[in-house]
Amino acid sequence: MGTQSVTEQGDDPAETILARIRARGGAATIYDIAELAEVNPSTVSRALGKPGRISAATAARVHAAAERLDFRINPMARALQTGKTRMLGLVLADITNPFVFGIVRGAELEAAAAGYTLVIAESQESGENEAEAIERLLPSVDGLVLATTRLGAGAIGRLAARKPVVLINRAVEGVQSVLPDVEAGVEALMSHLAGLGHRSVAYLAGPDSSWMSARRWSSILAAAEQRDIAIVEIGPGVPTIEGGREALRRVNAARVSAVIAYNDLMALGLMQEAAARGVVVPDQLSVAGFDDIFGTELITPPLTTVHADLITAGRRAVQELLEPGTAVQIEQSDDLLPTRLIVRGSTGTA
Amino acid sequence: MGTQSVTEQGDDPAETILARIRARGGAATIYDIAELAEVNPSTVSRALGKPGRISAATAARVHAAAERLDFRINPMARALQTGKTRMLGLVLADITNPFVFGIVRGAELEAAAAGYTLVIAESQESGENEAEAIERLLPSVDGLVLATTRLGAGAIGRLAARKPVVLINRAVEGVQSVLPDVEAGVEALMSHLAGLGHRSVAYLAGPDSSWMSARRWSSILAAAEQRDIAIVEIGPGVPTIEGGREALRRVNAARVSAVIAYNDLMALGLMQEAAARGVVVPDQLSVAGFDDIFGTELITPPLTTVHADLITAGRRAVQELLEPGTAVQIEQSDDLLPTRLIVRGSTGTA
DNA sequence: TTGTAGGCGTTATCAC
DNA sequence: GTGATAACGCCTACAA
């Protein structure tokens, strides 16, 4: 009878279950699937979770039922049991700095590919905000990428003891990090400048709390010594366009023929202010930066800069979080991210 | 005795519990607190969760114990029970487009202020990727902000039926959205151009799937008609610098004295290509864009554009998600985000 | 290969 | 005002 009356309502067990799911206003669970596939919930969990651990026939039934009920696993329930949230945190000092775009994209790409979700927090360049943001998302993530962190080495170390941490553009003893090959980039830049006849150069430093600014400075200092070029450090300064603009006066006062800014944003600001004050770049002053961000090709003359592959940096950081051993420990100089000099119009003969 | 021997070890109950927590390699739970404060776990939950519902003395003991054990609530456990994850999703077409910076910052700011965590996904301008990304993070979030979505109205509607959704720069019947006041911006821009004597203008369109591109075009068309200015639409084009560069030839062929690009990125590309081909902006061609992104002041001449307050857009979208009623329904023309014309050097007399 | 049972950390619903 | 107890949805020994 039942098989004959095709018009009969409510006979489809799947429909019955779906109705119940809708009624409780939620999503399908493994219990619903178990009921429809006529197996135990634990069997469903296994069929969905591990490949070969279940008979092909049962697995097929389970998958069909899951499909039918439009099942999505509840990440919270899974996380509660396993302790793994499949989420990764990315902490940035300043989201509006074009420098971070590449990092975000690379990290998101790699995270998504591995089935992880990326959560983002911004510290607005404040160490306090950063600590707060980290505390806030620490319980929800399996690991953390700190790009341009303003935290001290101690705080970073303690953090790394709690959860996997990977640093970008920062090295701390015992903590994984993704670093560009600063040496190589600086070498290329300095010989470029030397080749143009510059004998007196200034380095426009970033914030005091920036590890990378110090790193670049020490590298530049060494390269200058080696070439017998006069070098001065100016700063510290805010790592923004505004920071660059404000520094022009001191750069001029230093009477150098070329200036290397901590980052492209500062270099850009420097050039804008130079243009505003009638200082011709590169005729009267050569300017170079770091990172090769968006905008370096827009300005006139376009900016000479040391390119860093930020997308790869983001990818690597996430890879390292997911399977430790891929990235690089402090000062293990191979495996640094390649860096290359992009010569554009902002540098010229002295 | 016990009270006398101050040197006695392991007598501090807090220490004992802390040791046990460390031993199991996890974090403190409300059970640990309950034990230390000598109350029931449910009391701990209440003391921590709701304000007045507990006696002051008990609450104090609980808080002290929580502090002592460095307790952080487990968001997964809470979410499992409440169904609320306190996470919000932000889906973007292209993270590297400076257009999104403001949105991300605004959204993150507002989310953090409300104790929410922001998770980010990028679709790389592909509707398929976008759908996939949304499926991936839907179970983990309480709501979704879609900025520059490439999804169809149907898909968006179905999505909004499952979870709270707020759109930025896109309107769909029955779905909340945050929209700029396109009319006002276009009016200002067109009268600016008319005042400069332009009688023939081109609109360089964005992608076909971009709602906002169509919106801007219809607004421009109306404003041009009203002023008896000749207007042509060129496109569709890719909404990037490259897309702008590629369009120059068609813009020239149209013999217009001014071009309005769908967004600043395309305007920037147009100008770069113009410079490369010896077309002088604004003498031979006036160029204007939309959004006022990073970089518009860098290029020479700086770009005239219709500024949109993207940070506020991001904030509003999140506010609306958190407490519906704040933002604006389709075509409810008040409550649009104010927009204003920024006149710079890329527009001049015809 | 599959079922049973217990637990992950929290909140909610009852009692008292 | 506080305590006991049962979910929330999933995973995982252990047993069968």
pLDDT in tens, A220-234: 999 999 999 999 999
Report the pLDDT value the prediction gives residue B126, as an integer from 0 to 100: 86
pLDDT one-digit tens code per residue, B68-119? 999 999 999 999 999 999 999 999 998 989 999 999 999 999 999 999 999 9
Q: Return mean pLDDT, chain A.
A: 92
List the single range of A88-97, A119-128, A228-237, A271-280 with lowest mean pLDDT. A119-128
Q: Report the residue from B27, B112, B119 with minimal CB separation from A133.
A: B112
The two three-digit tokens of residue B330, written as one number: 């389709």
- CA-wise closest residue to B236 among B225, B249, B247, B224: B247
Nearest nucleotide, CA B55 to C1': D1
Report the pLDDT value the prediction gives residue A334, as an integer from 0 to 100: 54
Residue B98 with chain A: CB contacts under 8 Å: 98, 101, 294
Which residue does chain B place closest to A129, by CA atoms?
Answer: B112
Checking if the pLDDT of A12 tops 90, the result is: no
Q: B326 or A306: whose pLDDT is higher?
A: A306
Contact A319, A294 (CB under 8 A): no
Report how many Cβ contacts below 8 Å link chain A to chain B. Answer: 120
Whether the CB of B137 is less than 7 Å away from nucleic strand C comes out as: no
Q: Report the residue from A139, A294, A300 with minimal CB separation from B72.
A: A139
Residue B115 with chain A: CB contacts under 8 Å: 136
What lies within 8 Å, CB to CB, of B81 at 6+ separation is none
Q: Helix or strand or coil: residue A119?
A: strand
Q: Do B87 and A118 touch (CB under 8 A)?
A: no
Give the distance from residue A264's alpha carbon to the nearest chain B alpha carbon, in angstroms.
12
Across the range B290-307, mean pLDDT stands at 97
Q: Do B95 and A74 touch (CB under 8 A)?
A: no
User: What is the C-alpha separation between A120 and B215, in angstroms, rounded?
Assistant: 31
Q: Return mean pLDDT, chain B.
A: 92
Q: Do B74 and A80 touch (CB under 8 A)?
A: yes
Residue B101 with chain A: CB contacts under 8 Å: 95-96, 98
Other Cβ atoms closer than 10 A to B313: 23
10 Å CB burial of residue A276 (0-12, 13-18, 19+) is exposed
Give the distance from residue B124's alpha carbon to the nearest chain A alpha carbon, in angstroms.
9
What lies within 8 Å, CB to CB, of A293 at 6+ separation is A97, A98, A99, A101, A263, A264, A265
Q: What percent of chain A has pLDDT over 70?
A: 94
Report the pLDDT value the prediction gives residue A4, as an integer from 0 to 100: 43
For chain B residues 41-70, those near strand C by a CB cutoff of 7 A are 41-42, 45, 48-49
Distance B51 CA to C13 C1' (A): 19
Which residue does chain A place closest to B85, by CA atoms?
Answer: A76
Report the pLDDT value the prediction gives residue B165, as an integer from 0 to 100: 96
Q: Report the residue from B73, B95, B105 with minimal CB separation from A96.
A: B105
pLDDT one-digit tens code per residue, B246-285? 999 999 999 999 999 999 999 999 999 999 999 999 999 9
Residue A119 with chain B: CB contacts under 8 Å: 87, 117-120
Contact B286, B272 (CB under 8 A): no
> Given the structure tokens 């890879």, which residue do they identify?
A319
Residue A95 with chain B: CB contacts under 8 Å: 101, 104-105, 108
pLDDT band for position A324 (50/70/90)?
confident
Beta bridge partner(s), residue B201? B231, B258
Other Cβ atoms closer than 10 A to B342: 17
Q: What pTM was estimated for this model as a whole?
A: 0.90
Report the pLDDT value the prediction gives residue B10, as an integer from 0 to 100: 55
pLDDT band for position B9 (50/70/90)?
low
Give the distance from residue A81's alpha carbon to the nearest chain B alpha carbon, in angstroms.
9
Contact A246, A237 (CB under 8 A): yes
Give the distance from residue A318's alpha carbon to the nearest chain B alpha carbon, in angstroms.
15
Give the distance from residue B129's alpha carbon to the nearest chain A alpha carbon, in angstroms.
10
Q: Do B139 and A297 touch (CB under 8 A)?
A: no
Other Cβ atoms closer than 10 A to B56: 8
Contact B201, B256 (CB under 8 A): yes
CA dihedral in degrees (A45, A48, A54, A59; nearest 10)? 120
User: What is the C-alpha separation between B349 and B83, in angstroms, rounded?
Assistant: 60
Task: Report the Cα B208 to chain-centroid distance in Å.
Answer: 21
Checking if the pLDDT of A184 tops 60, the result is: yes
Report the pLDDT value the prediction gives residue B325, as an integer from 0 to 100: 67
Q: Do A136 and B294 touch (CB under 8 A)?
A: no
Q: Do A120 and B119 touch (CB under 8 A)?
A: yes
pLDDT one-digit tens code per residue, B310-332? 999 999 999 999 987 655 444 44
User: What is the C-alpha separation between B120 and A51, in angstroms, rounded?
Assistant: 30
Sheet strands (E) in B271-314:
286-291, 304-308
Across the range B137-145, mean pLDDT stands at 95
Across the range B49-58, mean pLDDT stands at 85
Sheet strands (E) in chain B:
87-92, 117-122, 143-147, 165-168, 176-178, 200-204, 230-234, 258-261, 286-291, 304-308, 339-342
Checking if the pLDDT of A333 tops 80, the result is: no
Residue A135 with chain B: CB contacts under 8 Å: 72
User: What is the C-alpha separation between A227 and A216, in angstroms, rounded?
Assistant: 17
**Which bases of chain C come closer than 7 Å to a protein CB?**
1-5, 7-13
Q: Helix or strand or coil: residue B38?
A: coil
Beta bridge partner(s), residue B289? B305
Question: Could you tell me the domains of chain A?
Answer: 13-73 (1.10.260.40), 85-178 (3.40.50.2300), 182-308+336-342 (3.40.50.2300)
